[in-house]
Structure 1
Amino acid sequence: MPTSSISRPLGSVLLLAALTPTLSLAAGPIPIDATPTVLVDTSKEPVAEGKFQPTWKSLEQYEVPEWFRDAKFGIWAHWGPQCEPESGDWYARNMYLPGEWQHQAHLDRYGDPAQFGFKDVIHQWKANHWDPERLVKLYKDCGAQYFFAMANHHDNLDLWNSRYQPWNSTTVGPKKDIIGGWAKAAKAQGLPFGVSVHAAHAWSWYEPAQSADAKLTLADGKGQWWEGLDPQDLYAQNHTPSPDYMNSGGIHARWNWGGGVSQPDQDYCDKFYNRTADLIHRYQPDLLYFDDTALPLWPVSDAGLQIAADFYNSNLKNSSGKRNGVLFGKILNDDQLKCLTWDIERGVPNRIFPYPWQTDTCIGAWHYDRGIYDRGHYKSPQTVIQMLADIVSKNGNLLLNIPVRGDGSIDDKEEQVLKGIAAWMKVNSEAIHSTRPWRSFGEGPASEGAELSAQGFNEGRGKPFTAEDVRYTQSKDSKTLYVIVMGVPQQALRLTHLGKDAGPETVRSITLLGAKGSVKYQQDSDALVIEPPRKAPAHAEAIVYKISL
């Protein structure tokens, strides 16, 4: 997550003119005609054969699969060794940066990073209470239709038995195949399985560690717990750092490998390609997320193009040509939107987008932060439900991270959030799953939304939802319309988009999901008027009227 370090408490660009945001944190889209200088060697992990070639033009053949359009809601375990200190996101970078609160937290808990660096935090991470079967079942019970696990973060530790990264979760830390465990649990619940890969940026992201322990060598490990491991395989800092590399926020403007940032070399790009291809070939994920503009290492290298072709071809091969995988990219231009699925980080566009897309967000910080728990700052079930309705009405999916503690458990307040979502979905899921956008996404005071910025980041910047705001979804056969009201109206609801003069729809009947009795309504020329319910359903974070047309 490229901007999570900006503040402690909580924590693409679309080239359609109507949705072009003002960029503030990163550069804009990287064009497809850029020329990579590092061409990766794919001989160790050959690209799967098939209709997709590692070119942007070939990737334009891609179509988002129906199963993903039907799913609408996924849950993510953005979990790794940075959760061990329970001090939030980007810990493995910020612990090396004087002035960042996590630097002081590290000094207080572990001491000088030069003596106790992030490699040593990894050693502390044991994941001794991790129960993937229980957690994935819990997520499915909440209405999640796919599950994501983090395969590596910018901290560069692979969370599987990686063939190409000696620093992985089976050799250090918990000494467990984390991805293998998550994959098995997802399969047991019948959920498509996704992995997120963030390690492309370890090269520059870890540069502040050069002031501490990131220049250690294999020989320095003699007699240490990490004897036999080369710290350079973890930190990847055997290079001259970027100018002003100790500027904590400077990396954001260089996220697209510009602005004078040090450029990854051949070995680094080859290793990233091999690690990611190994992950794809070994676990056969249905979804693949990159925390990068367009594709990882683009335009420095063609590694991302090779991975994309391999991933798409592998999914078609594994499903006998019947099932496309889903590959996400950020800050996409018009050409790239044909090749990848647009992912918006902590944000939502203000209108229906023609291609299926996804928001990724979190109920707290991306990595577990005890302070958010203590302050009670998790998103409420109502906030999540309203976000989900808004996103789905605009042709999107919601991927929601539930922060996992270092020991592999989730806390009691997170359990309560999930319980609230599950109760609402049990009554109202038909308005979410397998639906499609209507001719309008909704109406009400909060419909204008807020501008997107860089990867997204407009969450919470628009007007708050009230019972005057509604969002529309419809069944795939267009015979049923769902009106999701963001609360319980206390007065008559006037839906101008359903007035007789606004469209061809004739309302045949209306029911309120989860409630007994009839619904009083009148379809006038200028609006459909629905009287407020005498008694709201039990779980009324958002109430849903089901309209037969």
Structure 2
Amino acid sequence: MKNKIQTLGMCMAFLLFSINQIVYAQNKLAEKENASEVDQIEQAKKSGKTFKEEWPSIAKHSVPEWFRDAKFGIFTCIGPATLATQNKTTEWYGWAMYDTIGVYWNNAPRGEAKPSGEFLRHKELFGGDQNEVGYKDIIKQFNPTKFNAEEWADLFDKAGAKFMGPIGVFHDNYLNWDSDVSRWNSKDMAGVDITGELEKAIRKRNMKYLITYHHAFTWYWYYHSFAFDGGITGNEDLYGKVHGFSPDSDSFEPYPDADFEERWFDILKESADKYSPDLFWFDMGLELLSDNIRKKAFAYLLNEAEQKKQDIGLCYKIKFDVCIPPRAGILDYEKGRSTGLRADPWLSDTPLGGWFYNGRKSRSPEAIVEILCDVVSKNGCLLLDVSPKADGTIPEDQKETLLGIGEWLNMNGEAIYNTRPWKIDGEGPTTLKTDDHFNENWEAIYTENDIRYTRSKDENTLYVIVLDRPTKGKITAKMLSTILPYFDKEIANISLIGSDEKVVWNRDVYGLELSFPNNHPGKHAFCYKVKLVTK
């Protein structure tokens, strides 16, 4: 019996030894594989090609921490199109001025062709018909003599923006920088490198820099011009080559060809190499390009940024995310926003007035602050469009709104900057109808019962943002009820930002009731700071 036990013990010891040897060998193999993978990554970094022209590789890039912290940015729409929009026409003037069909602009039924209003007004606005004064001639008239990058940057800094930049190239193929790729650029045509001067002024103020790109749609933009000066040999570098697309069709065929795509890439590459933006924002049109050129562009931008030790963001429109896999970039809503909290950071872009200056009165600070609070509570950032006049000056009403936003952020910025979303975004009666573009309110719409939540990165502070002024001397945050699962922390202290008055509070099954003083200096969006007990 003793021998059997000894034999069994030896077998068990041998078995354990064998298992340990196998585990040891597996660990060594894993270490070797990991080391090999690390070596590959390091070699890729040294070669400047960490990111392959493949979506799984591109999607490994994370949203920059600076973007998640920044929350609020500004971009500016200015260019030859402003010469048209200041006369209350569409910023799509380069399309509409040649449009004899009117399918888009007049909602004319197909088969009932009718020229657009812009087509009919063109001679009145620019002194000649489309054969005499084409868009190429409008470009030559653009001359923003009062543009001052330092003044712009100073204003945007006072507004509280943390990232800023210009429209780099609109659908009209006009470049707002000093270009060697295209003669149709602001330096050669107007004597000013708008992108370059702003880049210096913005970085001087420690703000992140962005450029927006709209030129993927240029292939279709000038279709109607082919019957006019767009069809003349020698103008292809602006209007593109003549092709057979028709807006009266259900199809976007023919799609952009290889020559167009390479030029699209060359324009993008030139601006990236010259100005190193921290954020690249792409308008519609990416979905119409080939997948290969999209992957080439994204991989190039990421690899170049890594060589410069720069953490960049790549933004593209939601709905057109069919062409960009999840997490390969940052989703953007145009004049819209998410109806709820999103897991990944996202962006909403919206204008103060018109996208390009058209005389429309600026929205109020209240409206923009409401949108900002709503967006941030849902894990987003807001990108606000400012539309300068054609001479380069920013309208006074837009300045007033920007300074009003800055005043609010000076007081309440800690509830916005460097925060993260809470478990839920908010509560209240006012909701967005659709999760889509163009779903936002134009002016302030929220009530004192509409509340948004944010939290500090360390999770030691919860911010309760009441979007309108309480009228009853108190408010109740219902989502902080003792019977709901969201809030299980012990409260250390509650204060109201901007007020020295003590906040009287009580938490029960109905929620967290908070007192509100009569003499608070703020006008809208009041932020309670709930400090939590830390262990």
1:138-157 counterparts in 2 under 5 A?
Answer: 138-157=155-174
- Match for residue 232 of structure 2? 216
Aligned-partner Cα distance in 2 for 1:124–1:240: 28
CA contact (8 A) 1:204 1:261 kept: no
> Counterpart of 1:140 in structure 2: which amino acid?
D
2:44 — aligned with what? Answer: none
Q: 1:105 to 1:184 in 2, by over 3 A?
A: farther
Rounded to whole Å, the distance in 1 between the matches of 2:443 and 2:352 is 18
Q: Deviations for 1:54-97, whole angstroms, at most 9, x for unmatched residues?
A: 11121121101111100000000122111123134212212222
SS of aligned partner of 1:427: helix
Shift of the 215–431 alpha-carbon distance from structure 1 to 2, 3 Å rule, reads: same
C-alpha displacement of 1:328: 0.7
The alignment's TM-score, normalised by the length of structure 2, stands at 0.83
Residue 305 (structure 1) shift: 1.2
Contact 1:485 1:542 in 2 (8 A): yes
Alignment partner of 1:469 out of 404, 426, 450: 450
- Is 1:241 the counterpart of 2:257? The answer is no
1:433 and 1:333 mapped to 2: Cα distance? 31
Task: Note the 1:185-200 alignment, pairs <5 A.
Answer: 185-200=201-216
Q: Which amino acid aligns with 2:237?
A: D
CA distance in 2, matches of 1:61, 1:483: 34
Map of 1:408 onto structure 2: 392
Mapped pair 1:232 → 2:236: yes
Letter in 2 for 1:176: V
Query: Which residue number in structure 2 is paired with residue 274 of structure 1?
Result: 266
Contact 2:367 2:444 in 1 (8 A): no
Per the TM alignment, residue 260 of structure 1 is displaced from its structure 2 partner at its CA by 4.0
* CA distance in structure 1 between the partners assigned to 2:405 and 2:220 by the alignment: 38
Separation of aligned partners in 1, 2:444 and 2:384:
21
Q: 2-side partners of 1:333 and 1:504: how far apart?
A: 39
Structure 1 residues 54-133: aligned runs within 5 Å: 54-85=53-84, 86=86, 87=88, 88-98=90-100, 99-110=115-126, 111-133=128-150
CA apart distance, 1:141 = 1.2
The residue that corresponds to 1:344 in the other structure is 333
* 2:524 equivalent to 1:541: yes
Measured at CA, do residues 451 and 405 of structure 1 come closer, stay the same or move farther in structure 2, by a change above 3 Å?
Answer: same
For residues 159-192 of structure 1, what are the alpha-carbon distances to aligned partners after superposition, in whole Å with 9 as ceiling and x for unaligned? Answer: 22222212222222x1222211111111111111
Contact 2:476 2:513 in 1 (8 A): yes
- Does 1:326 find its partner at 2:313? yes
Task: Show the counterpart of 1:292.
Answer: 284
Q: Indicate the structure (1 or 2) with the bigger Cα radius of gyration.
A: 2
Q: 1:241 to 1:65 in 2, by over 3 A?
A: same
Deviation, 1:302, is 1.9
Offset, 1:201: 1.1
Residue 465 of structure 1 aligns to a residue whose secondary structure is coil
Q: What is residue 432 of structure 2 aligned with on the other side?
A: 449
- Check whether the contact 1:186–1:193 (CA below 8 A) recurs between aligned residues: yes
Distance 1:178 1:105 in 2: 30
Structure 2 CA distance for aligned equivalents of residues 380 and 353 of structure 1:
27
Q: Which runs of 5+ in 1 are unaligned?
A: 1-47, 219-230, 254-258
SS in structure 2 at match of 1:437: strand
Distance in 2 between the 1:49 and 1:404 partners?
A: 38
Letter in 2 for 1:277: K
Instruction: Output the CA distance in 2 between the equivalents of 1:531 and 1:101.
Output: 56
Encode CA deviations 1:197-249: one digit per residue, 9 max, x unaligned: 1111111111111232211223xxxxxxxxxxxx211011x323313x3x5xx
- Out of 499, 505, 529, the position equivalent to 2:481 is 499
Q: CA deviation at 1:333?
A: 5.0
Which letter maps to 1:494?
T
Note the C-alpha offset of 1:103. Answer: 3.2
What amino acid does structure 2 have at the position aligned with 1:232? E
Matched, 1:205 2:221: yes
Q: 1-side partners of 2:440 and 2:123: how far apart?
A: 33
1:508 maps to a residue whose letter is A
Higher helix fraction (1 or 2): 2
Q: 1:424 to 1:104 in 2, by over 3 A?
A: farther
Aligned residues: 463
Distance across 1 between alignment mates of 2:162 and 2:296 = 28
Kindly indicate whether residue 513 of structure 2 is the aligned counterpart of residue 529 of structure 1: yes
Per the alignment, residue 22 of structure 1 pairs with: none
Match for 1:362: what amino acid?
Answer: P
Distance in 2 between residues matched to 1:296 and 1:180, nearest whole Å: 29
| 1:72–1:397 Cα contact (<8 Å) kept | yes
Does 1:312 find its partner at 2:302?
yes
SS in 2 for 1:438: strand
**Selected match of 1:303 from 270, 290, 293:** 293
Deviates more, 1:106-115 or 1:457-466: 457-466
Q: How far did 1:115 drift?
A: 1.1
Per the TM alignment, residue 441 of structure 1 is displaced from its structure 2 partner at its CA by 0.5
1:273: how far off? 1.1
**Residue number among 366, 371, 375 corresponding to 1:391 in the alignment:** 375
Cα root mean square deviation, aligned: 2.0
Q: Show the counterpart of 2:253.
A: 261
Q: TM-score, normalised by structure 1?
A: 0.81
Matched to 2:497, the amino acid is L
Q: CA offset at residue 534 of structure 1?
A: 2.1
User: Residue 483 of structure 1 corresponds to which residue in structure 2?
Assistant: 464
Secondary structure of the residue aligned to 1:272 is helix
1:467-513 CA-partner distances (Å, limit 9, x unpaired): 11011111101111111111111123121111222230232222111
Q: 1:158 maps to which residue? A: 175
What are the ranges of 5 or more consecutive residues in structure 2 without an aligned counterpart?
1-46, 101-114
Is contact 1:76–1:147 with CA below 8 Å preserved after alignment?
A: yes
| Structure 2: distance between partners of 1:462 and 1:118 | 34
Instruction: Give the Cα–Cα distance (whole angstroms) in 1 for the partners of residues 421 and 156 of structure 2.
Output: 25
Confirm whether residue 354 of structure 1 aligns to residue 343 of structure 2. yes
Q: Is the 8 A contact 1:194 1:285 kept in 2?
A: yes
Find the residue that maps to 2:494 and give its secondary structure: strand
Tell me if structure 2 keeps the 8 A contact 1:512–1:544: yes
Partner of 1:5: none
- Displacement of 1:148: 2.1
Alpha-carbon shift at residue 329 of structure 1 (Å): 1.4
Distance 1:260 1:141, change over 3 A: closer
1:471–1:483 CA contact under 8 A, matched in 2: yes
Q: Could you tell me which amino acid in structure 2 is paired with residue 157 of structure 1?
A: Y
Report the CA distance between 1:301 and its aligned residue: 5.2
Matching residue's letter, 1:240? H
Retained in 2: the 8 A contact 1:441–1:471? yes
Q: Distance in 2 between matches of 1:420 and 1:134?
A: 17
Q: Which residue of 1 aligns with 2:355?
A: 366
Letter in 1 for 2:416: I
Indicate the percent of aligned positions where both proteins have the same amino acid. Answer: 31
The aligned amino acid for 1:533 is P
Amino acid at match of 1:317: Q
